[in-house]
Amino acid sequence: MPVGAHANERRPSEDGASAIAATLEEDIVLGLLAPRVRLVEDDLMERFGAKRHVVRDALAQLESVGLLERKRNVGSMVKAFGRDEVIHLYEMRELLEAEAMRKIPLPLSSEALKQLRDIQVGHDTAIQKQDPRGIFRTNQEFHRLLFAQCGNAFLSQSIEDFARRTHAIRFGALMSRERQLQSQKEHHELLDVLADGARDRLISLTVAHLVPPRDHYLKAQESLSI
């Protein structure tokens, strides 16, 4: 298991099922729970010090957002996607995120830029410290605030929903040091373009930002089928 992968876990005793679900969601993105891995209730009860009904509630939350799938006589497993499903999900993400970038007022306001830059400082720090959960959380925060600037709450929520559905596709990509540094570079490029107001460049950067995790999953899937 990667060093620091379990660092700074949310404590389920504070928030119950939602906190367990949030931690397991991070485990999926970080590659600690790979596609088709079975989640055993007894193991989770021991790990989180939680009662069975709380663990079941957490698993149900993850199933409802498409991160887990329940199979008869097997139980809950991390969702595995076929090639077409991966491509189609990322087509939807590209459509939604590009549209949000078309709606964002440019250049972005100094207040919004400051908020994004402050979040990016945290992201930079997490990368420097090689804190995988910190990287994931600050990345989520950065993109959530960025897409909120489109001014359409339904669009930004749809973007977040589709991003969550692809967490099981993104598995392990964030653990790559190369990918961490590339993502950091892309975030700073986005900030520069938001300040400059070059919309075409903003859209192309946003779309390109989606490609590496998708291709990482497809490549891994192909290697398993050989």
Q: Is residue 163 part of a domain?
A: yes
CATH number at residue 170: 1.20.120.530
Domain count, the chain: 2
Q: What's the pLDDT band for 143 if we cut at 50, 70, 90?
A: very high
Residues 114 and 216 in one domain: yes
169 touches 93 (CB < 8 A): no
Residues 172 and 102 in one domain: yes
pTM of the model: 0.85
Cα separation, 74 vs 119, whole angstroms: 41
Tell me what pLDDT residue 223 has: 65
**Full residue range of the structural domain in which residue 143 is found:** 83-224
CATH number at residue 45: 1.10.10.10
Residue 2 has pLDDT above 70, yes or no: no
Percentage of residues of the chain with pLDDT beyond 70: 90
Residues 68 and 27 in one domain: yes
Per residue in 9-53, pLDDT (tens digit) is: 544 444 699 999 999 999 998 888 988 999 999 999 999 999 999
Cα separation, 114 vs 100, whole angstroms: 20
Q: Which amino acid, residue 178?
A: E
Tell me what pLDDT residue 171 has: 67
Residues 71 and 87 in one domain: no
Q: What is the mean pLDDT of the chain?
A: 89
Q: Which amino acid, residue 203?
A: I
Residues 54 and 17 in one domain: yes
E strand or H helix at 39: strand 38-39
Instruction: Tell me which residue of 31, 44, 17, 15 sits closest to 133, measured CA to CA.
Output: 31
**Residue 69: both structure tokens together:** 């799938």
Tell me what pLDDT residue 145 has: 98
Cα–Cα distances in angstroms (integers) from residue 51 to residues 46, 48, 57, 196, in the given order: 9, 9, 10, 52
Per residue in 172-222, pLDDT (tens digit) is: 677 788 889 999 999 999 999 999 999 999 999 999 999 988 888 888 777
CA 58 and chain centroid, separation? 18
